[in-house]
Amino acid sequence: MQPQPRLPARPAPEPETQPVDPLAAGVVPPGFEDYTIQPGDTYAAIAQRRYGDDRYWEAIARANPLKDPRRIRPGEVIRLPFDPTNVQGRRVGDAPDPAPTPQQVDYTVQPGDTLGEISEAFYGSSRYADLIFEANRDSLRDADDIRVGQTLRIPPPPASSGR
């Protein structure tokens, strides 16, 4: 048997040093924020407050695969998807119609709540506390006037909040 001729070695390709843009790669990555469970919370109640539709409880469950939705306790921290229709990433072009933006969400004040914390929970930033105050001016004398059990109107997220 005759030895096979050796082919010249090809140089290894240079590793890519440019960061990969997920949108250019064809993927819309999911986004999440932390949420601390409050007394009386269920995934459905959180979904109703956050997204305006309790059917999105399943998106919250998918974002927290190691937590049993029936055994959540106040003080536990879970992840809430910014977009309940994109929990695991989706290819560009596969995007369903965006979830309808709620006109208004009602929220019941919990012990220890402040408008800043409520703003943080709904909009991802405490800087929208004034937006909540203005939406409830008829029942609040000032921003510190909230009471446990009181129902506040939470207006739709402002366009600049990134939601």
Q: Which of residues 65, 83, 100 is at a domain's end?
A: 100
The tens digit of pLDDT for each residue in 7-36 reads: 444 454 454 444 545 545 577 788 888 999
Burial pattern 110-129, b for ≥16 Cβ within 10 A else e, equals beebebbebbbbbbbeeebb
Q: Which of residues 53, 72, 100 is at a domain's end?
A: 100
Return the minimum-mean-pLDDT range out of 57-71, 74-88, 95-109: 95-109
Structural domain span for residue 138: 101-157
Give the total number of structural domains in the chain. Answer: 2
**What Å distances lie between residue 54 and 11, 77, 94, 122, 139, CA to CA?**
57, 19, 24, 15, 26
> Both 93 and 41 in a single domain?
yes
pLDDT of residue 122: 82
Assigned domain for 1 exists: no
**Which residues have C-beta within 8 Å of that of residue 59, sequence separation ≥ 6?**
47, 51, 81, 84, 85, 87
Can you give the CATH number for the domain in which 96 is found?
3.10.350.10
> Both 118 and 80 in a single domain?
no
> Both 48 and 92 in a single domain?
yes
The mean pLDDT of 80-103, rounded to a whole number, is 71
Assigned domain for 85 exists: yes
Assigned domain for 14 exists: no
Assigned domain for 9 exists: no
> Both 140 and 125 in a single domain?
yes
The tens digit of pLDDT for each residue in 98-152 reads: 555 556 788 888 898 999 998 888 878 888 899 999 989 889 998 888 999 999 9
Q: Which of residues 55, 70, 100 is at a domain's end?
A: 100
> Both 109 and 92 in a single domain?
no
* The Cα angle at residue 37 between residues 122 and 106, in degrees rounded to 5: 40
Q: What predicted TM-score, i.e. pTM, was given to this entire model?
A: 0.44
Closest CA to 41 of 27, 54, 31: 54
Phi, psi of 80 (to 5 degrees): -115, 130
pLDDT of residue 89: 79
